[in-house]
Each structure stands twice: as C-alpha cells, then as structure tokens.
Amino acid sequence: GESVGLHLPTLSVQEGDNSIINCAYSNSASDYFIWYKQESGKGPQFIIDIRSNMDKRQGQRVTVLLNKTVKHLSLQIAATQPGDSAVYFCAEKTTGTASKLTFGTGTRLQVTL
C-alpha cells in the first residue's frame, strides 16, 4: 500500500494496551473537531467528533478529550488491536467557515504483538 506520511511521528503500542494520540490546534475560534483514521492506500475514515461545548465524548473503544484552555485534543483507544494500526489525524472547523476543515498532519500508530 501507499504511505500517506513518510515523516510522521510514530506511536508504538503493544496489543492490548491503551493508546493516546494527541493533537494541538491553533484557532481558539474552532468549534468542532473530528478524528480520522487512515489505513494505507485508503481514504480517511471518520472515528469520532466533539463540539466545543463538550470536554469529553466516548464511542466504542475510543474517547476524545478536548482541552480548550490549551487548545489540545486527544484520542484514546482502549485495548489497542492490530487493526488499529493506521495514521490518525485531527481536523478542526472554525466558526463562520461553513463546512471547511483544517487538518493536522497526523500520527502513525503501530501496534506490536
């Protein structure tokens, strides 16, 4: 498959452990955030989202935390599995920009057995 990011930061996690992937955003006017997962050779896949009026949102095995004070977003994956290996990136939408998103460059998650 094709690599989507040759120079990405990489997080290596053992199977079964929890993973935490971080994202810093710059615009304090951003009001909506999304985490995407992108496997090699595929398009990004929606994982979970959160609006700025929330601090935490949980999905199936995933949790997103938002700290507006320091403009930081994190994605927590519980009991990481080999199928979680991918590039993860965050996206933010700024108030007043319709549906336009600004994307981070991503973090590669490698799950070791």
Partner 1 sequence: DVKVTQSSRYLVKRTGEKVFLECVQDMDHENMFWYRQDPGLGLRLIYFSYDVKMKEKGDIPEGYSVSREKKERFSLILESASTNQTSMYLCATCDEAGGVDTQYFGPGTRLTVL
- Closer Cβ to partner 1, 76 or 97, answer by number: 97
- Six-digit token string for 33: 């955030």
Per CB under 8 A, which of residues 15..74 are in contact with partner 1?
Answer: 32, 34, 36, 41-46, 49
Sheet arrangement for strand 19-24: 19-24, 72-77, 62-67, 56-58
Q: Which of 26, 53, 98, 113 binds partner 1 (CB under 8 A)?
A: 98
With CB under 8 A as the contact rule, the residue among 73, 75, 89, 109 that binds partner 1 is: 89
* Number of shown-chain residues binding partner 1 (CB under 8 A): 28
Least separation in angstroms between residue 102's CB and partner 1 is 9
- Give the residue, chosen from 10, 12, 28, 105, that forms a contact with partner 1 under the rule CB under 8 A: 105
CA 109 to chain centre: 11
Q: Is 84 helix (H, G, I), strand (E, B) or coil?
A: helix
Cα R_g (the chain), whole angstroms: 14
Task: State the nearest-atom distance from the C-beta of 81 to partner 1, in Å.
Answer: 22
